[in-house]
Amino acid sequence: MASQEVPKTCKVILADTIAKKLLGEVREQLVKVQGANGARPALAAFLANDDPAAAQYAEWSKKTCEENGFDFDLRKVDKEVLEEAIVTANQDDAVDGIIVYYPIWPTNQQQDRYIQETVALSKDVEGLCHTHLFNMYHNVRFLDPPTNQKKSILPCTPLAIVKALEHLQIYNPILAYGNRLFGKTITVINRSEVNGRPLAALLANDGATVYSVDITGVQVFTRGSGIRALRHQVLDKEGWGLKDVLPLSDVVIGGVPTEKFKVPTELIRDGAVCINFSSYRNFDGPAVKEKASIYVPSIGKVTIAVLLRNLVRLIANRKPEGNSEQ
């Protein structure tokens, strides 16, 4: 009798696979919002740093925009005149959305935060201005309650990871919308204000227990016992580290921006889902495939698809009837 081949333990899912489905939805939604003969939406992108990863992201964004019916205008500017350039774009009716590539001042987050607030609410495709962030952290999903026609914008990379988790069926569609991660334990290794902390909040607001890890330690984001709270709460886990949280985690998400860091494979539980959103590989690829059930080595192209999704939502929000689509 011929021996049966043992199936591979780990399924590797590429960002392209997830992005293609999202881009199809984006094109359909754009036609609904603007009609079949509507003008091509215009995205202005500001590059004021020398980060090769940002330049690569801009190239991918340009290609994806042009392939899907959007105009992409990359504006390379000196950081000292960036504020004025953004104000000009805010006032330009030909510009539908604005993206800025961060960090601009790597050692001064306050200056980056100031630039985030310079982008007009109606053109903030990244969802990084105060109104959008306030809504996200407080689990408020609309800009115009109680009418609830204009959806708030969520940050692109955190939302891309949410969309990846939906694609991987980590979200449970049987549960009520907003509770579909109940029972899941997720570790996010990154607590930056742009990516890691918003991601932890989004996942916790959807019902997960989220361990947020950075160099200062571990915090747990949760809606409490039985997810009875309307929004997440944050508690410090004194003395905890990766050794404590990884063995508990159904999903491990790496976003550490250095090639020196690797998630300790031996601490990952058998059958966990592992997702990397850093521009560096936070996981040892061959080793993690022996442990994980699903491995997503990068997320960048999903982030670009979400960027366009957000841009269509901004256009819909400017229309009198707003936008009630999810």
Residues designated catalytic: 156
**Cβ–Cβ < 8 Å for 289, 12:** yes
Cα–Cα distance for residue pair 162/143, rounded to 1 Å: 20
Cα–Cα distance for residue pair 136/140, rounded to 1 Å: 6
Query: What token pair was written down for 257?
Result: 């921006």
Cis peptide before 297 (omega within 30 of 0): no
End-to-end CA distance of the chain: 53
Task: Say which amino acid occupies 252.
Answer: V
**Cβ–Cβ < 8 Å for 243, 260:** no
Scanning the structure block, which residue is given the tokens 């997440």? 232
**Cβ–Cβ < 8 Å for 234, 221:** yes
190 closest CA partner among 213, 158, 223, 222: 213
42-47 sheet: strands from edge to edge: 71-76, 42-47, 97-100
